[in-house]
């Protein structure tokens, strides 16, 4: 199995930490909240047997800088696009989980010549989640609304970071053994760094008005993902109860999808073998 190494890059004003390994067609792996590039540790090595794997810490996360602004998805997508250019890649495949999937979605829309294909893991289009908001979605995604609030999430989570993050790691998983104690400890360490909690919540706060206005404008203008798009989700979570594939087909012209049985939200860690199998089939190598 290929081993990924740790690097730093200067992308504009942002110092970006990323993991890299393997050789072959380039694939960018984008993590979500409350995680870092570490979330790919069970997938990245095997994938690097056939691909060049790049797994960055997104703006505000992990060992990447945590500036006060720039958490709209267009800017976060520009960060990783700049990293790809700096590493000499003209076209890349993009795989995004959770918030990383939203960054990947924006990357594919804004730079279709750079993104060859896109896989989104355990998310529905952001615009659809707000549009379909009802009591069931509000109950499952209460944190979206809470994280939008100024200052309060930092106050609550900062009093016990391990307990706050642990709530999600327990409630959102089906295969709870997939998130080992040492993995959770790594995420707690990352979000205990100065500015890390605030940056993660700012990722959510960028939902209004920046992300929402851009999503609405693109949808109204008929802008869709034209690259091949794979949606993958855990059947044990909320997306297993939603018409997730049909939702994505409104936002892309070449969309396939699969729900993973006995899986919750953290699909790369709960079902890494299945995720790897579907990714390799999708990537075509």
For residue range 120-169, list pLDDT tens digits in order.
999 999 999 999 999 999 999 999 999 999 999 999 999 999 999 999 99
Sheet with 52-56: list strands edge to edge: 5-11, 14-21, 52-56, 26-30, 92-97, 115-121, 229-234, 255-260
The stretch 78-91 carries a mean pLDDT of 98
- Show which residues are catalytic: 98, 265
How high is the pLDDT of residue 285? 61
Work out the angle at residue 151's Cα, subtended by the Cα atoms of residues 148 and 157, and round it to the nearest 5 degrees. 90
The stretch 234-250 carries a mean pLDDT of 95
How high is the pLDDT of residue 33? 98
Residue 1 has pLDDT above 80, yes or no: no
Q: What's the burial of 20, exposed, middle or buried (CB within 10 Å: 0-12/13-18/19+)?
A: middle
Give the domain extent around 169.
Answer: 5-283
Residue 96: name the closest of 138, 128, 137, 124 by CA: 124
How high is the pLDDT of residue 71? 98
Residue 284 has pLDDT above 90, yes or no: no
In the predicted model, what is the mean pLDDT of the chain?
Answer: 97
Between β-strands 14-21 and 5-11, what pairing exists: parallel, antiparallel or unpaired?
antiparallel
First-to-last CA distance in the chain? 17
The stretch 25-51 carries a mean pLDDT of 98
How high is the pLDDT of residue 3? 86
Q: CA–CA separation, 169 vs 85, rounded Å? A: 34
Band (pLDDT 50/70/90 cuts) for residue 116 is very high
Q: Are 79 and 18 in contact (CB under 8 A)?
A: no
**48-68 pLDDT, tens per residue?**
999 999 999 999 999 999 999
- Cα-trace Rg, the chain: 17
Q: CA–CA separation, 108 vs 206, rounded Å? A: 19
The stretch 69-81 carries a mean pLDDT of 98
How high is the pLDDT of residue 176? 95
CATH of the domain at 68: 3.40.50.1820
How high is the pLDDT of residue 202? 98
**191-223 pLDDT, tens per residue?**
999 999 999 999 999 999 999 999 999 999 999
If residue 28 lies in a helix (H) or strand (E), which one and from where to where? strand 26-30
**How many C-beta atoms surround the C-beta of residue 152 within 10 A?**
12
How high is the pLDDT of residue 261? 96
In the chain, the number of structural domains is 1
Q: CA–CA separation, 147 vs 278, rounded Å? A: 32
3-state secondary structure of 131: helix
Torsion region of 70: left, alpha or beta (phi above 0 gives left; psi -120 to 50 gives alpha): left
Q: CA–CA separation, 211 vs 239, rounded Å? A: 21
């Amino acid at each position: 199995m290929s081993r990924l190494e740790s690097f730093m890059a200067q992308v504009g004003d942002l110092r970006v930490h990323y993991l890299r390994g393997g050789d072959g067609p380039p694939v960018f792996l984008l993590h979500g909240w409350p995680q870092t590039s570490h979330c790919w540790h069970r997938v990245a090595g095997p994938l690097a047997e056939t691909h060049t794997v790049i797994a960055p810490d997104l703006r505000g996360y992990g060992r990447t800088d945590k500036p006060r602004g720039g958490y709209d998805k267009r800017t976060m997508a520009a960060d990783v696009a700049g990293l790809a250019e700096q590493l000499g890649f003209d076209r890349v495949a993009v795989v995004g989980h959770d918030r990383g999937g939203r960054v990947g979605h924006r990357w594919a829309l804004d730079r279709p010549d750079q993104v060859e294909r896109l896989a989104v893991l355990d998310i529905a289009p952001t615009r659809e989640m707000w549009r379909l908001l009802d009591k069931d979605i509000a109950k499952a995604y209460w944190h979206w609304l809470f994280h939008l609030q100024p200052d309060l999430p930092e106050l609550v989570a900062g009093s016990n970071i391990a307990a706050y993050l642990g709530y999600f790691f327990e409630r959102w998983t089906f295969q709870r053994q997939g998130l080992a104690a040492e993995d959770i400890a790594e995420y707690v360490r990352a979000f205990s760094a100065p500015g890390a909690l605030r940056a993660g919540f700012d990722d959510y706060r960028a939902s209004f008005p920046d992300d929402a206005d851009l999503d609405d404008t693109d949808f109204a203008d008929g802008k869709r993902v034209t690259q091949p798009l794979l949606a993958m989700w855990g059947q044990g979570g909320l997306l297993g109860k939603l018409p997730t594939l049909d939702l994505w087909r409104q936002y892309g012209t070449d969309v396939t999808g699969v729900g993973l049985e006995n899986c919750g939200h953290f699909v790369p860690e709960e079902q890494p073998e299945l995720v790897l199998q579907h990714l390799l089939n999708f990537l075509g190598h």
